Structure 1
């Protein structure tokens, strides 16, 4: 992962989204060669020299203090997630102390936990969004067209981000595909900042950039947002529309793994549809699943 280049891209995109008048600077109407703030304007707001900020944006300074990074974050009006991402990118040696994820299996206790979740779709994901395990309802919700034992076979292990951009069945699953795509890229950006030495994560990002113009366009905007909870809309091929809440909970001491769970509002049509899907999972003869491999 080219962390210095990523740092420069991130800072430039954040400068570009601010106008001088947004931050209290006077613009005299002269033609501006670049969108947003100039380097010297941002340096002035952050209280650092133009030369120093230029070196930082060019990836030539890796020892920025907390005070300097905090000042730049304030000047750029970064969100807390963006602020944390800035620190990871500006200090690649520090971020690199988090080793690339190596655990390639969900703990047996975690597997038992998701199997015991009656009526709750659940998945265990790696930091790079590979699916290590899912319960039957989780499989039926997000990838019923794939083989249920795919997570057990590394060569066919599904990746939720790869599916979203490269698998037509998954694209049809999300009525607001564009919103889901932005959420996915934002999450991958955070992961790339946290695990700059993860070769497989870099390969995934490279693959998506080459194979999906939509991914490449979103990636170039450098979106950053931790998507740990919220609401997702589905149009499931078996039970129709669903609006489900989701929660992503980190699993301690598990190399960045997390537990993704979905739920429906009690008494809602989505709850009835999710119950119907669960009934189909319990009685597989009532549904048809195409056993295929995830796109590689």
Structure 2
């Protein structure tokens, strides 16, 4: 990806979402030629010259200091995740470029860990949102990853290119926004990853919805929350998910799903655990 273009577009998109009244500035007339704040207004809020900010928004971030980036992040009302993304775009770390090309692997002990999680769908996600390892419950709930080609075991590709995802995720639009936001964050960390660039290009060509969401420049960390799913065999489930980052690999995440005890969803998970995965007509879409 073009790092300068990404920095420029991200700053423009964040500036466009702010109105003068949001930051205590007068609107200065009814009609404004640009959406959101003007460059002059943003520079004033951040305490930098207009020329300096303009140069940064044009993609020249190599010599910007951390203090200036923090001031601009505050002026733009960025979240912590957006602030980190801005830093990655303006001042990319060389070690990220080197490690992006290395193949990720899941240690056998980690596979044994999720295999021991009886009744809990669990899987490992790597960079590019690749699904690297899973347990039997994850296969039963989300799909038979073992029968897929390695390149198909990717969450973003499944959500946007597999029609089964719209049946699986009852809140598909929210899921799609989350996936794009996480992928955008990854792209900011690994701008020189050819596989990641290829994935983004493929999705942009094949999915109008992905292309529209990608242009919004939203970023988001994988975290925790609730998902409403529809399984072809047991029907609707409401499950909580947790995302845990491994301390020795910042790009490897353990994702688990569980139901509220004694709930209908817990009973449905129990049914899936009793049946063999080969007997279950699981959806082909991949999980979060």
User: Normalised by the shorter chain, which TM-score bucket?
Assistant: over 0.9
- Match of residue 82 from structure 1: 82
1:170 aligns with 2:165: yes
Residues 95/87 of structure 1: CA separation in 2 closer, same or farther (3 Å cut): farther
- Distance in 2 (CA, whole Å) between partners of 1:255 and 1:23 is 35
- Match of residue 158 from structure 1: 153
Map 1:51-200 onto structure 2 (within 5 A): 51-93=51-93, 96=96, 99-100=99-100, 102-143=102-143, 146=144, 148-150=146-148, 154=150, 156-200=151-195
SS at match of 1:48: coil
Report the alpha carbon displacement of residue 89 of structure 1 after superposing the two structures with TM.
0.6
Are 1:95 and 1:195, in contact at CA under 8 Å, matched by a contact in 2?
no
- Distance in 2 (CA, whole Å) between partners of 1:230 and 1:101 is 31
Are 1:88 and 1:95, in contact at CA under 8 Å, matched by a contact in 2?
no
Are 1:141 and 1:236, in contact at CA under 8 Å, matched by a contact in 2?
yes
Calculate the TM-score normalised by the size of structure 1: 0.90
Residues 93/118 of structure 1: CA separation in 2 closer, same or farther (3 Å cut): closer
- Match of residue 251 from structure 1: 246
SS at match of 1:34: coil
Task: Name which of structure 1's ranges 156-165 and 231-240 shifts more when overlaid on structure 2.
Answer: 156-165
Are 1:98 and 1:195, in contact at CA under 8 Å, matched by a contact in 2?
no
- Match of residue 22 from structure 1: 22
How far does the alpha carbon of each residue in 1:143-191 deviate from its partner, in whole angstroms, 9 at most, with x for none? 2xx45343xx53x541011100000112210111000001101101111
Calculate the TM-score normalised by the size of structure 2: 0.93
Report the alpha carbon displacement of residue 255 of structure 1 after superposing the two structures with TM.
6.4
* Count of matched residue positions in the alignment of Structure 1 and Structure 2: 286
Are 1:103 and 1:255, in contact at CA under 8 Å, matched by a contact in 2?
no
How far does the alpha carbon of each residue in 1:51-105 deviate from its partner, in whole angstroms, 9 at most, with x for none? 1111111112312111100100110001111111111111125574562052333
Are 1:102 and 1:255, in contact at CA under 8 Å, matched by a contact in 2?
no
Are 2:3 and 2:191, in contact at CA under 8 Å, matched by a contact in 1?
yes
SS at match of 1:262: strand
Residues 149/104 of structure 1: CA separation in 2 closer, same or farther (3 Å cut): farther
Q: Which runs of 5+ in 1 are unaligned?
A: none
